[in-house]
Amino acid sequence: MTLRIIFMGTPEFSVPTLRALAEAGHEIVATYTQPPRPGGRRGLDLTKSPVHQAAELLGIPVLTPANFKQPADRQSFRDFDADVAVVVAYGLLLPEEILTGTRYGCYNGHASLLPRWRGAAPIQRAIMAGDSETGMMVMKMDKGLDTGPVALTKCVTIGKAMTAGELHDRLMHVGAALMKEAMTKLETGELTLTPQPEEGVVYAAKITKDETRIDFTRSASDVHNHIRGLSPVPGAWFELEIAGRVERIKVLTSELADGTGEPGTVLDDTLTISCGEGAVRLTRLQRAGGKALAALEFLRGTPVAAGARVS
């Protein structure tokens, strides 16, 4: 038999899982996603989420409640008479009536090795902390924040130069295959659940604007992890004076380098910057309103001499 599934997700990260479940032959009776948001150059057009667009291409009904506070929205969910709900980066808190609104409950695809990095930004936080490993987990949701029992796990190595964007793309496909496997096991009665350990809980708070600025007084390894953990969005940045004007420069990639000096000092003509301990070489940068450039190309249009200071 196949499962009657309600899929709940919003960003591009969720799309491979939706497609994998549909390709596996399950009946996706409805897709829930966040409402269209203002988009376009002037913000006047309403843009459907990536999941919304993918579901329409698959011919799946789409619902976009702002929340589940209205009794009618909760009843509509139950009326689908689904076996299970699959949740991947939906972005809304689910009340208990939704968590228990299908035969088997809600199963979430989460991008960390729980209980480490519960919360909103597990991919970025893992890299920013210098973790060498993360993964995808399928867990059965409960009322807590990513506290439910775990069904399946797939570990993924974090390369020393890997950015959050690269890890995101790797995990979204790992997660799709893992959720497909989980639903097959659920369908055959072979899915087992293991409570999360009580030790090792770490929360992955949402990334805020005030933590995106690069602090060169930190160690080179911390600065490097900060840069790649925020790449490509929202992007780590510093300020540099260019032609008498201070500009914000986004850094997309970097590497550890040799060198010492006052933190924030340019040490050579390849954009090696001294840190509180060691140095980093900035390898891909972007001026405000410009395109991302390799460091040598950036320097051709924006010369930065050794001895200059960034902050």
95 annotated as belonging to a binding site for a ligand? no
Question: Per-residue pLDDT tens for 181-230?
Answer: 999 999 999 999 999 999 999 999 999 999 999 999 999 999 999 999 99
Buried b (16+ CB within 10 A) or exposed e, 70-91: eeebbebbeebebbbbbbbbbe
- Under the banding of pLDDT at 50, 70 and 90, the label for residue 25 is very high
Q: Which domains does the chain have, with CATH numbers?
A: 4-203 (3.40.50.170), 209-301 (3.10.25.10)
Q: What CA–CA distance (Å, rounded) separates 224 from 127?
A: 10
pLDDT at 38 exceeding the cut of 90: no
Q: What CA–CA distance (Å, rounded) separates 264 from 308?
A: 8
pLDDT at 44 exceeding the cut of 80: no
CA angle 46–49–55, rounded 5-degree value: 120
The pLDDT, as a whole number, for residue 244 is 86
Weakest-pLDDT range from 34-43, 67-76, 145-154: 34-43
Percent of the chain with pLDDT strictly greater than 70: 98
Question: Per-residue pLDDT tens for 61-97?
Answer: 999 999 999 999 999 999 999 999 999 999 999 999 9
What 3-state class would DSSP assign to 263? Answer: coil
- What the block records as the tokens of 76 is 């509509």
Question: Per-residue pLDDT tens for 155-170?
Answer: 999 999 999 999 999 9
**Cα–Cα distances in angstroms (integers) from residue 195 to residues 182, 186, 192, in the given order:** 16, 17, 10
pLDDT at 242 exceeding the cut of 90: no
Nearest residue to 10 via CA among 52, 56, 66? 52
Q: What CA–CA distance (Å, rounded) separates 290 from 252?
A: 13
Question: Per-residue pLDDT tens for 119-146?
Answer: 999 999 999 999 999 999 999 999 999 9
Q: 136: alpha, beta or left, given left = phi > 0 and alpha = psi -120 to 50?
A: beta
List, in sequence order, every beta strand (DSSP E) within the chain.
4-9, 27-32, 37-39, 45-47, 62-63, 84-88, 106-110, 116-119, 133-140, 150-157, 202-204, 236-242, 245-257, 272-274, 279-287, 293-294
Q: What CA–CA distance (Å, rounded) separates 250 from 60?
A: 39
Q: 81: alpha, beta or left, given left = phi > 0 and alpha = psi -120 to 50?
A: left
Percent of the chain with pLDDT strictly greater than 90: 93
User: What value does the mean pLDDT of the chain take?
Assistant: 96
Q: Over range 32-37, report the average pLDDT.
A: 95
Strands 62-63 and 116-119: unpaired
Q: Which amino acid is at 108?
A: N
113 annotated as belonging to a binding site for a ligand? yes
16 annotated as belonging to a binding site for a ligand? no
Q: What CA–CA distance (Å, rounded) separates 254 from 252?
A: 7
| Contacts by 165-169, CB closer than 8 A, 24 or more apart | 165/231, 165/232, 165/233, 167/123, 167/126, 167/127, 167/134, 168/13, 168/111, 168/123
115 annotated as belonging to a binding site for a ligand? yes
State how far Cα 238 lies from the chain centre.
Answer: 23
Q: pTM of the full predicted structure?
A: 0.95
